[in-house]
Chain A
Amino acid sequence: MSAQLAQFLLSGLTVGAIYALVALGFCIIYNASHVINFAQGEFVMIGGMAAASFLGAGLPLPLAALAAVALAALIGMALVKFAVEPARGASVVTLIIITIGAAILLRGLASIVWDKRIHALPAFSGEQPIEIAGATLAPQSLWVIGVTALIVAALWWFFNRTLTGKAILAVSHNRLAAQLMGISVRRVLLVSFGLSAALGALAGILIAPITFTSWDVGVMLGLKGFAAAILGGMGSGPGAVLGGLTLGLLESLGAGYISSAYKDAIAFIIILVVLVLMPGGLLGGRATERV
């Protein structure tokens, strides 16, 4: 393997892990409510920006990161409380438009509360690069990949081993039956939006030392995560991870071997190709529903 290829793969995996986290956020909310939450990218932005500002206020990095994730989760739950719940009974399309509105609002608030400058977080454990197969890997990339792996394992455990996780799955499979069993759809929505927001924020914090952050990074990261979720099959957890990593690798290889000018176009080409040729995505599968 050439050192160049190894380099492209490593950076593709790093950014792919971030897309996977964002895609998982899309996936959790989609499962609970069939809503595609276009404010998902803003949670990524809030994570990075809030961590940077908490750090600037003197908090140590781990605390700043934790506080930023908690803040994003609260904002996610507030989104349910003040935007989704008041529109109770509205169609899914209406709710999706509400999330687009929320995204614009959050972006605007961020540019006022913080500023319009570019911010950076320090790398979590130094900048000394590690050499693998002739390629160099920043320690921060290990953080990104490692934390993503941990999160994926934790989510698997949550949805497969805990009753709360299964209650969320139950709501996604059959909302009516779940309600009749005494599962509160309202609580499930709060938990899923909070969880998705926390995942997005975590992604934003992990990537901020590598790519910097600013008030408007949410748009692109959100769309990339959406592309990853579509590629993997909307609603599938393993699909979101696979879609994220695939998108990251394709982007990195495309930028390396074709032209870095097309880097962002790749995600959108993927959305088009997947929607036209295989709307179920890689692991979506369930295109029809039994009646």
Chain B
Amino acid sequence: MLRVTALESRYGRIPALKGIDLRVEAGELVALVGANGAGKTTLLRAISGVQPVSAGRIEFDGKDVNAAPPEERVRAGMVQVPEGRQVFGPLSVEDNLRLGAYRRGRAESAASLERVYALFPDLVERRRQAAGTLSGGQQQMLAMGRALMARPRLLLLDEPSMGLAPRLVAGIFACVAQLRAADTAIFLVDQNARAALAIADRGYVLETGRIVLTGTGAALLADEGVRSAYLGL
């Protein structure tokens, strides 16, 4: 479904991604783990088309999307929940959600709104509240709900558990597992490598702009190098 080949990206003269190869198949949950500064966010942004790519290919559904602007990738079904939630603070919760379905019709948007409210009941009672007044956990739910409004077939999640209390982290990961069960492919980037690999079908380990290791989630969890570098074992 998503295929990334020899992808390179740079900030000025400093390379951030040095030839990334990876793929995500339909319905799969793939985790990407790596230290701070390894290039995880850069990779997700490049996939979404908001970070320039200096070499390589990104294909979605077999089509080259390298030249496609971000909005076309969203329309194709590839939607990202950015790091740090990035909700539209002064706008209401419901407006945030409806903007997630900006590209879709009114009726479809209303149907999606109901589904999202069913998934995140906390948001219903706060629908008129400004998004900036929500707690961190609620903002994360809003950010995920907003992305789901676009009906993604591939959801790119950047650090969904960052800065959240452990109880909320469990909730977010349960929700991720639920989405995957509903046949949405998920590409998950998280500092919480243990939780991410535990629910992932496959995983990639990113180090200073290169994929250094790949395997099933279980295999990576058991790997000595991964255990010492990312799981603190």
Contact = CB atoms under 8 A, between A and B. Distances in A.
Contact of B102 (A183, A186, A290): A183
Contact of A177 (B71, B75, B87, B90): B87
A174 interface: yes
Interface string A278-291: 00000000000010
B54 to A, nearest CB: 14
A180 B89 contact: no
Interface in A131-178: 163, 166-167, 169-170, 173-174, 176-178
Interface residues of B, number: 27
Nearest to A286: B90
A182 interface: yes
B95 A173 contact: no
Interface in A159-218: 163, 166-167, 169-170, 173-174, 176-184, 186
Given A181-B150, A184-B71, A176 B50 contact: yes
Interface in B135-177: 146-147, 150
Interface residues of A, number: 18
B48 A180 contact: yes
B82 A176 contact: yes
B221 interface: no
B150 A177 contact: no
B50 A180 contact: yes
Given A173-B90, A177-B88, A182 B95 contact: no
Contacts of B70: 179-180, 182
Pairs A-B, 3 closest by C-beta atoms: A182-B74, A177-B86, A179-B70
23 contacts: A166-B95, A166-B98, A167-B102, A169-B88, A169-B90, A173-B88, A176-B82, A178-B88, A178-B99, A179-B49, A179-B71, A180-B48, A180-B50, A180-B80, A180-B86, A180-B147, A181-B150, A182-B70, A182-B75, A182-B79, A182-B150, A183-B71, A186-B69
